[in-house]
Amino acid sequence: MRLSAELKALEQRIGHNFSKPEFLVRAVTHASISSSTRQDNQRLEFLGDRVLGLVMAEALLSADQGASEGQLAPRFNALVRKECCADVAREIALGEALKLGRSEMLSGGRRKEALLGDAMEALIASVYLDAGFEVARALVLRLWGARILQVEVDARDPKTSLQEWAQARGMPPPAYVQTARSGPDHQPIFTVEVVLEDGARETAQAGSKRAAEQQAARTLLARLEQTT
């Protein structure tokens, strides 16, 4: 099988030449264009998620040999979550190589966070199947790079941290309200407000509702900790 120019360029960006190009083709094939003769990347996504998890678990244990499970778990979650995978996908311009159906292309599929994150996991699996775990491990460590060492010492989800802050003071969990949505369907902007029982609140905007909630919680928690 001969690879297209886009996939040849992707090989160069990730630093791996496939001995079995069909794995790479499958990794970049979205379900919107799959058929009986063209497999999509969903099964590879499942496998890649597990390969990524093992690589990150090993890397975090090696980076901080004195860390407890309670410290390692939030760091691990920060490094394997879809948002992080999507960030890495953007850095290697993975979206440019994706094979999408017409509807996905028209709706901006090449920029969608969930789609990019899934494709990144599928790409990891394709390298694993093509060349084995050690090569896949090297790829992940190379692409994630400084993220592993720079992951926050306390990388808990800011929503969890804010909820714990509120509960420690006898308050119910924070309330999150979507107050606005703007932009085109393929690139929406969500505005979310987080409110505590005592009236403390903060607003944030992001490309997904979840990301906006996290940013609002992060900003509010930082403000509260400065005043207590």
Q: What are 69's two structure tokens? A: 């499970």
Residue type at 82? K
Smallest CA-to-CA distance from 81 within 70, 89, 93 is with: 89
> Catalytic: which of 45, 104, 113, 121?
121
Report d(CA 140, CA 122) in Å as an integer: 12
Q: Which residue has the tokens 């379900």?
A: 31
Closest CA to 136 of 46, 42, 54, 38: 54
| 154 tagged catalytic | no
User: How many whole angstroms separate alpha carbon 215 and alpha carbon 56?
Assistant: 24
CB distance 111 to 96 below 8 Å: no
Active site residue 49: yes
Q: Which of 40, 49, 113, 202 does the annotation list as catalytic?
A: 49
Q: Which residues are catalytic?
A: 49, 121
